[in-house]
Amino acid sequence: EDFRNGFGAVMGGAIFTLGDFAFAVMSNQLHKLTVGLQVSINYLSGAKGKKLIAKATVRKDGRTTSVINVDITDDTGREVAQFVGTGYKM
C-alpha cells in the first residue's frame, strides 16, 4: 500500500527497483562484482495481486559482460513487467 500511486496501482519506480535488485543479485552470483552497463524495463500491465514476484534468468554469461532478464509478475500470475540488464564484470 505504501508504493501505490493516486490510482491505486503500484508505482513504476517500485517495480523498476524490484527488477534492478533481482538483476543485481543474479549478476553478483555470476561474478563477485558486477556493475550495470545498461538497463531497461517494459511495463506490461498493472499488478492486480497483493505481492510482486521477480524471477531472474541469465541470458548471457560472457567473459566481461552478462545479460539478465527479470520477469516480474504478481501473485495471481499476471505479467507486470520485463526488465533487462546488462552487467560489466569488474
Q: At 64, is the secondary structure helix, strand, or coil?
A: coil
Alpha-carbon distance of 57 to 70, in angstroms, equals 6
25 is a domain residue: yes
> Over the stretch 23-60, which tens digit does the pLDDT of each residue have?
999 999 988 899 999 999 999 999 888 899 999 999 99
Q: What integer pLDDT is reported at residue 49 of this predicted model?
A: 83
Domain count of the chain? Answer: 1
- The CA-atom distances, in angstroms, between 38 and each of 5, 68, 83 are 27, 11, 11
Q: Which domain holds residue 50?
A: 12-89
Please tell me the pTM assigned to this model: 0.91
58 is a domain residue: yes
pLDDT at residue 1 above 70?
no
